[in-house]
Structure 1
């Protein structure tokens, strides 16, 4: 029937049909984009945030994790250090808190923030939650066997939170016992008695090479 219309009108009619079709498809695509965005899990969106911005929620998760509320057992995660990826097995706490893929840079950032008094010093913060996150972070530092963590963990040996002092001492000792080169770097470090006392209270043996200081 369109062929019976004048040429000009046939062109306009065809153009309107194409334009309508284009608008329809654009709207359909737009709706699909919106729908797809709604399917993105909160965890995926959460992972896009900077690690320090995530600390308040990570602290709450860590406290629940070490308390057993999120389940106990063993698992494995991938530790990413630059272009190197290493699968590490162990308890579930790091996985509950950080996920199945953990960036060493994030671990260093959290420990540095604590060392520089930028994390966990707000009077309104729950010290148990702060300690829980730092404990889980230190367990990942131990598993990393990276020399990058040594100086930062050393700075936490005198932390005001007992669990942080204790696990910083345990972390350095475990790192030293895991690799001769790491041990060479850790041997000169003096361990405050309060940090060693915390390690002993957790039934962790203190090697004879550890140098205690007041």
Structure 2
């Protein structure tokens, strides 16, 4: 009898834990779907003027349009496109018509075009504000001598180029046909919660089946 009680207790607690994790992932799935919808709406919204003091919480992914000049000097962020082409994202300082100096992600150039001169001067830009979440402790530090970065660190890039810590990722530009804009999308935002839901509830089913089996095997045998 004690064995039955012990198995029932362990089985019940394990099943409850697995079901709770599955329910939590259902809630996370709904949250992520809502987040992706919000991001998609912001990305595709009608562009507005650059906010005076944009913040990550309020303005991330906001569509903006600015007019001004692409200034001299740029940073090169090592990049691999979804087509597996290696090259660099070109980050340049942009001077707006009202005198602000911000960061502009002009787009991608193949590795062979890294040192090629690019057009600067007056242009208009349509894009999205972004605070990239890139890099971790394994990311190599910037190579100052060769002007190669391995992540778009807004604070670092702003310090290097003397701009506000504000990054506009171009989705269309008229300054240089050799640079291919890499617009902000939701493609890099993973939503694996449905897989987790299936995993946890599958484990819960297996756990319940195993518990039932062990309880059946441990039941008292009738004599006769």
**Greater helix proportion:** 1
**TM-score where L is the length of structure 1:** 0.30
Task: Report the TM-score when normalising by structure 2.
Answer: 0.29
Q: Which structure features the higher share of strand residues?
A: 2
Between the two structures, name the one with larger relative contact order (CA 8 Å, sep ≥ 6).
2
